Each structure stands twice: as structure tokens, then as C-alpha cells.
Structure 1
Amino acid sequence: MRTAKICLTGAAAAALVAALAGPAAAAPTVETDATFEVTAGTLDVTAPATADLGAGGSGTAIIGELGEVEVEDTRASADASWIASVTATVFQTGGGSPPETVLPEEIDYWSGAATGTTGTGTFTPGQLTSGDAAPLSTVTPLTAFSHSGGTGNNSAAWNPTLVVNVPLDSIAGEYAGTVTHSVA
């Protein structure tokens, strides 16, 4: 009988320890509905709003940098390829009637090497060296820079140079026109 008391006392002690050390009583269950949104990325190009290319006389070449152009691709695509192209308007001066013009075909564009890139794939300048400079056009876009292959987000920046081949019969004055970069 003495053995039974010890076992009973041991069992009672174990039950007391289990009750004190056991988990607290469970609270009622609570559910939380959670949401998230996947946003569509974009393919964007930015360039300076203005650029002063310099000055020169008739029959000379005016050479000036346009300023940094950047393509940013946040589409997170499996094929993150794109082509940035460039066109220009006719450049005109306010002097004279009608205004004097320099045609885009008399202005060469040279993208040069990238000043910075992010992401994977191959980044290719349209015109790597000054010897590769090509004339602009109002109609036919010139490839300024491209990206092929790679996946996910990427970006490229470059600082193109414009070479204005001033015609011999150009009158003095400030000529203004627009250089337009686009990306697709």
C-alpha cells in the first residue's frame, strides 16, 4: 500500500507541473485577409530639357554634348530588350524672312559609350566612336542605344555629341530645334 501512495503522489505532482508549465488556454482563432498588388513596370527615357551646343561660323562644325540621356526599364521582363532612337526637327533662326534653317541631315549624332548601366544583357551604343557619327533625320529614326537579352530591370545612360555641319550660306543668328529620343 505504501507503494501505491508514492505512485499516486508522484502522479499528482507530475499533473501539477504539467498544468503550471503547459500552454495557456488558446484564444479564439482570428483570420486576417491580406492583399498585395503587382504593379506594371515602365520603359522610360529621359534627356535634358535644353542644351547649348556652342557657336561657330558658316562652313564650320559646331560640336557639343547634348547632356545625359537615360533609358530606365522597370518592366521586369523575361526578355528585357529595347531600342532607343533619336530624330530632330529643322533648326531655325529668327532672323530673315523666311527664317534660315539648318536641316537635321546636316547634324551628326554620336552616342558614345555608356556612362552607366545596370542589369543583365548586352548594352550597345548606336555610334560608339566619332567616326561612327550619323546624320539625324526628321523622318527616319537613328538608333541611339540598344539593349538585348537579359532579364528583369535594367538601365543605360549616355552623353551624346552633336556635330552641326554649318552650311556655307548660313546667316548669323541663334538656331533652335528639337532633338527627340524615344524608346520601345
Structure 2
Amino acid sequence: MVGFLAAPASAAPTDTTTVTFEVEVGTLDIDAPATADLGSGAPGSTITGQLGAVTVTDSRGAADASWVASVTASVFQTGGGTPAETVLPEEIDYWSGPATATTGTGTFTPGQVNAAAAEPLSSVTPVTAFTHTGGTGGNTATWNPTLIVNVPLDSIAGIYTGTVTHSVA
């Protein structure tokens, strides 16, 4: 009978693992409240109220992380939309005010630092709401803009509805 001796098991001195991961494309996003109620006022008065937090998030990781946030508005209407049943965007002033929070490097600049600098909105020409210049990598900015509705003298009673649109590029 011939015997076989089993060789002891041996471990390899090195071994490799293939590792994968994904780097997603960074984005430049803006988030604004879905609704806002500014209150009420009589014809010829002003109605002033804040929209709520608007936030730009820049995760592009760019060497130059500059961006401009802008704002436009639609016509605000109640009833059937006759002239007395509309408030034009140009009759609504916007001011961003200072940032309530920022992260990242660079310079964050409000489009309108206070009520004295408020600008009329437009349905065509965007108003600058906030800017970020310089800096690198990711950043965020949040502000709470104020709208001042200059209620036309010929306005009829009703709840007026329209949209304020923020965008960033």
C-alpha cells in the first residue's frame, strides 16, 4: 500500500479586490416654497409679505462656482381676468434681503439688500434675486424674499393667484 501525504494548504502572499464606485454629476438647483399667502389689503394700499426660504444648492464641484438666481412673475388674477381683476407683475416689488444661511467659499450677494432697493417683477425680464461669485466646490445660499404688492386703485375684491418663478444658472 502506497500512502499519499497531503500537502498543507498555503495562502497566497497577496490578493486583489476590484473596487468600483460612481461619482455622480453635480447639479445646480433652486428650491422655493410651493405656496405663499401675502395677506390682504384694500385697493390703493400695499400688501407686504415674505415668500419663505429660497435655497440654491450648488453641488457641481466647479473650479469657479459662480451662479445667478433670478425671479419672474406671472399676472395675478381673480375672476375672469378683466383689467380690474388682474395685478400685473410690474405692480409687485421684490427684494431678496440678505442671506439667512450660506455654506462654501466665494461672495454671496443679494439682488436687493433692503426694501429701498426693491425692484418691480416682470413676466419677461428676470430680476436678479441673488448671486454667488468665485469660490470653488459646493456651496449653498438661502434667503427669505419679500414681495410688496402695490394694489391698483381699480382692483375688485377677490383672492388673486399667480406664480413667482425663481431660477438659477
Instruction: Report if TM-score (shorter chain) is over 0.5.
Output: yes
Alignment match of 1:131 (pick from 92, 113, 116) = 116
Give 1:27's aligned residue.
Answer: 11
TM-score normalised over the length of structure 2: 0.90
The number of residues matched between the two structures is: 160
Normalised by the size of structure 1, how large is the TM-score?
A: 0.83
Note the residue ranges of structure 1 that are not aligned, 5 or more in a row.
1-24
More helix by percentage: 1
1:1-184 aligned at under 5 Å gives the runs 27-28=11-12, 29-94=14-79, 100-184=85-169
Higher Cα radius of gyration: 1
Instruction: Determine if contact 1:86/1:179 at 8 Å carries over to the other structure.
Output: yes
Consecutive unaligned residues of structure 2, counting only runs of 5 or more, are 1-8
User: What's the CA shift string for 1:116-140, capped at 9, x where partnerless?
Assistant: 0000000000000100000000000
Q: Secondary structure at the match of 1:56?
A: coil
> In structure 2, do the counterparts of structure 1 residues 167 and 149 end up closer, same or farther at CA, with 3 Å as the change threshold?
same
Equivalent residue, structure 1, for 2:4: none
After superposition, the CA RMSD in angstroms is: 1.5
The structure-2 alpha-carbon separation of the partners of 1:148 and 1:96, relative to structure 1 and needing over 3 Å to count, comes to closer
- Percent identity for Structure 1 against Structure 2: 72
